[in-house]
Structure 1
């Protein structure tokens, strides 16, 4: 199991639950809104940066991917416009989640609400080299829909 060290941001409400897995088989741990000054209203079509109140220390060789919660997406149209968002292992700032309201009604983010999920994933860095000859494949240069629909 990978250890992610957490610390509270200045001004955060330290009684908000830490990220957690809701079921034994869950891949994502829920992140919660830390908005002690009151709810944040997101108008239809708008987006807002919601603080988790947390700093993370992610081990080298890993990232944290931030993804939408399916229930919020289905019931309210709440999604993450940069999904999945990446938190790099060398980032130490406060973790924020960009929420977008793709629904038809105003959505209110309340203090302690589960707003997104985080997945810890291994990362491999590559080296890059220019070449005049790339290996051939059956697909070749076919892109966007070239393998068929559905």
Structure 2
């Protein structure tokens, strides 16, 4: 698998994100909090990670929910996937949301999201007429349920 070098700065005590298996697309990232955070039903909170990155130009890092938290507890991200641009140098935060009816407790050091590196292409928008297709402007369920 191809590797891309990404510089990282970790706050004291923060574990470097790692791939949990050889074929993983995402690295697990952990909550950098001192005390547990209780996330009530339909509440959202920005959870710090203690991680800063220098992402190469032409790439982004996507922050994605963890499937286990989503399935077992209804925990997701309010802006999934979140995008970290190559020119951002601040701390990575995860906007977590509780979609269940039960409170969820985020504990210090808990794995809360995944970081996935992706190639980015910028668009060069050119005004003009669009070509015709069979679908046309049909969208939002136009083909059925």
Length-normalised TM-score, structure 2: 0.94
Deviation digits for residues 40-86 of structure 1 (CA, Å, limit 9, x no counterpart): 11111100000001111100000001111011011111000110010
> 1:144 maps to which residue?
140
> 2:130 maps to which residue?
134
Query: Which of 116, 119, 140 is residue 116 of structure 2 equivalent to?
Result: 119
- Once the two structures are superposed, the pairs formed by residues 59-138 of structure 1 within 5 Å of their partners are 59-131=56-128, 133-138=129-134
Q: Which runs of 5+ in 1 are unaligned?
A: none
Hey, what's the Cα distance between the residues in 1 that align with 2:117 and 2:90? 17
Query: Which of 27, 30, 33 is residue 28 of structure 2 equivalent to?
Result: 30
Q: CA deviation at 1:93?
A: 0.7
CA RMSD of aligned residues (A): 1.1
> 1:3 maps to which residue?
5
Deviation digits for residues 7-64 of structure 1 (CA, Å, limit 9, x no counterpart): 13xxx4x22321111011111110111012x111111110000000111110000000
Q: Which moved more, 1:14-23 or 1:46-55?
A: 14-23
Secondary structure in 1 matching 2:94: strand
> 2:51 maps to which residue?
54
> 1:19 maps to which residue?
17
Query: Which of 37, 42, 60 is residue 40 of structure 1 equivalent to?
Result: 37
